[in-house]
Structure 1
């Protein structure tokens, strides 16, 4: 693995006009794992689309691969093919999910600002993989602002937010292809506006909500919980971030009302499952987040003994850009690309909840995996930093911070 400059010193930060912090495209943010086959002598590189968040301004958790065709050998895709990342059949195979999952369910995707190409790009993705059409005209797709109105929508997204939108919509479609999609666009990336969008999604009937954004944890978070994220009978899902253990905790994934999603490196394997997963850690100040909250109370269903407050993650899914996912975006990108990050893992888990069926009224779906630990793939290898106790950042049998209780092995762990 070649030496490269620490990404925090190699890239210029700028506050994007769309309300999400973004990195300069000059960044060389990561390198492929040493075991990743590639088509040239140069290992694939990727760059983050957003900078680390603040306590008041959200960030996305997305990494874009710069040379996606160098993933061909690792992903088993025909050389030169587009797309060249994992698609629906790969995720359904890896996590033992039905090909017609999500029937009768409505899943909300929460993002900031308007992606004018969202529905069209989603159509391209779904057609590529033979998924049923999901459009406004057939009642499957609905796009609204955080007040529930289809018009006028927020100002157009800029600085890569469109790729985040496409990632969320595509990966939800991959794991829950029969679900209806409610796409709620907040007017800006603040706690209040993103939270308002969550509340609107619930008001419009969504029972599953994917939040692929993150704030830096703050002492105000417990007050935000009741305002925006405490929705009994609704599976609210959020990622732990892409900055490894040392960065600290993110919100709303630290909320006890939210299923906190970590990231793995998903690789084909000759074993019985056909796949192998380890903790996602690119060894370059990026990888799945985890840790012990300084502020949020520990929910009764979380039993680890080293953290007196809320521990993250609860579960995990694919996130490593070195073994990334195919996404189609024509708004700010040139069509097919390969992406990773916990923004990929988050809609995957939201979709698995939808595959499992509507949560019972009054339930907290974040607790469901803890009652069905044997129905998950326990991830026991890898780490996302250095820590004490070791399980805060190191995979081990049973619960650990980076991957929680594990990854989906069917849907049994995602209903009561």
Structure 2
């Protein structure tokens, strides 16, 4: 039985009672986590359980969820993970090139320069270098998130300027920010955590499809109704590619959400598979979307120059996957072990230890250059690959496209790693061909994402 002196991980928070012992305090101090002094009237102190889990497990990097609240029924949490300490794969790579010992990230994760993978790295890893420079013009990639990021345009400009990408501004018409009703002036309440998610999403579109226009649609809240309304608004405003980096528990009402918000033929809608390891989330389980899993992406001496495995940090941290409890199986999905919708379809980098560079300056988490991971990175990457491939057919569901190219050189088959324990092996374990954590694999050029 748990005593009041024992640190307890509940949801995404570690709660410490008033009788925290010296042993527990020393444990947290060793992890770099400060605790409040005991008060006469106990008030639980909260720290991110994601950070604790990563640090206790002595993960390669320490990180925390950008959106702290555990979503209640009918709501979603963003799937962005912000690195707060440690040494990323990018920093190790740079140090190796210079023949020096890599420096660790500062405790607040801020840095004068990026510490994660940038556009050149990501384009190289996914065979997109040529396409990124020549494709995507005239296409619009929409990002759907909750709440407002007041610094979205300015932070986007900083990211693109640093990496030598062409400017994408409101004045030029390249960037537009609207509410879920399409208003450019009446915007939702600002939120620091979701602002980090927004910066991650905008920067990944810039990294993969720098010639594309970007539409940011901000939902009034993280409820599925508001987020779904924002998806509809993105489509109404002409976006043919819509990325959604959030998710929540599956519910019996998901089929209603499917028909109300995600059934948009001719539009490539991507959704993060989740960051809580093996298990299904919605809307990744929607039969109308491309569900996107996450990988660990590392440099290699092989002909590709890169290698990938399933992203898993611990038993509770890693890419989502699994067989939906409620959503029907789309006609093009042919795995036989799951009679309903199977997650995922494809994948891209998501491990915070091999994370991507993001510039975010808003609020308490907006410390400038940060490294982010989570399947919140992989969803906008895949939406942007679709954009490089061109406008989908008007009656197509682009989630089918990777299945048409399955088993070909158009996809990097990820064959190692797992995201947990499951009764049906491919639900949680990578192997040759299709598997839940990584789908059919990661992009190798555009052929798997073109109608």
Report the TM-score when normalising by structure 1: 0.90
Match runs of 1:17-56 below 5 Å: 24-25=47-48, 27-30=51-54, 43-50=60-67, 51-56=69-74
Q: Does the alignment pair 1:386 with 2:421?
A: yes
Task: Please give the alpha-carbon distance, in whole angstroms, between the structure 1 residues aligned to 2:368 and 2:64.
Answer: 17
Cα displacement string for residues 386-408 of structure 1 (whole angstroms, at most 9, x for unaligned residues): 11210000001110000000000
The answer to whether the 8 A contact 2:157-2:169 is kept is: yes
Q: Does the alignment pair 1:140 with 2:174?
A: yes
Match runs of 1:245-324 below 5 Å: 245=278, 248-324=279-355
The answer to whether the 8 A contact 1:368-1:413 is kept is: yes
Match in the other structure for 2:402: 369
Q: Does the alignment pair 1:230 with 2:263?
A: yes
Q: Give me the CA root mean square deviation.
A: 2.0
Q: Does the alignment pair 1:63 with 2:86?
A: no
Match runs of 1:80-159 below 5 Å: 82-97=113-128, 98-100=131-133, 101-158=135-192
Report the TM-score when normalising by structure 2: 0.83
Cα displacement string for residues 181-233 of structure 1 (whole angstroms, at most 9, x for unaligned residues): 01001111111110000000000000000001112111000111110000000
Cα displacement string for residues 47-71 of structure 1 (whole angstroms, at most 9, x for unaligned residues): 2223543431110111111126555
Match in the other structure for 2:200: 167
Cα displacement string for residues 54-113 of structure 1 (whole angstroms, at most 9, x for unaligned residues): 431110111111126555543436666711100000000000112324221001000111
Task: Please give the alpha-carbon distance, in whole angstroms, between the structure 2 residues aligned to 1:349 and 1:7.
Answer: 33
Task: Please give the alpha-carbon distance, in whole angstroms, between the structure 2 residues aligned to 1:371 and 1:151.
Answer: 43
Question: 1:6 and 1:378, CA in 2 relative to 1: closer, same or farther beyond 3 A?
Answer: farther
Match runs of 1:184-195 below 5 Å: 184-195=217-228
The answer to whether the 8 A contact 1:47-1:64 is kept is: yes
Cα displacement string for residues 300-355 of structure 1 (whole angstroms, at most 9, x for unaligned residues): 10010000000000000000001111000000321001110000001000000001
Highest CA radius of gyration, 1 or 2? 2
How far apart are residue 29 of structure 1 and its match?
3.5
The answer to whether the 8 A contact 1:221-1:296 is kept is: yes
The 3-state SS of whatever aligns with 1:219 is coil
Q: Does the alignment pair 1:199 with 2:222?
A: no
How far apart are residue 149 of structure 1 and its match?
1.0
Match in the other structure for 1:358: 391
Match in the other structure for 1:401: 436
Task: Please give the alpha-carbon distance, in whole angstroms, between the structure 1 residues aligned to 2:11 and 2:320.
Answer: 20
Match in the other structure for 1:39: none
Gaps of 5+ in 1: 14-22, 35-41
The 3-state SS of whatever aligns with 2:382 is helix
The 3-state SS of whatever aligns with 2:275 is coil
Gaps of 5+ in 2: 1-6, 16-45, 104-111
Question: 1:323 and 1:33, CA in 2 relative to 1: closer, same or farther beyond 3 A?
Answer: farther
The 3-state SS of whatever aligns with 1:183 is strand
How far apart are residue 156 of structure 1 and its match?
1.2
Task: Please give the alpha-carbon distance, in whole angstroms, between the structure 2 residues aligned to 1:70 and 1:301.
Answer: 38
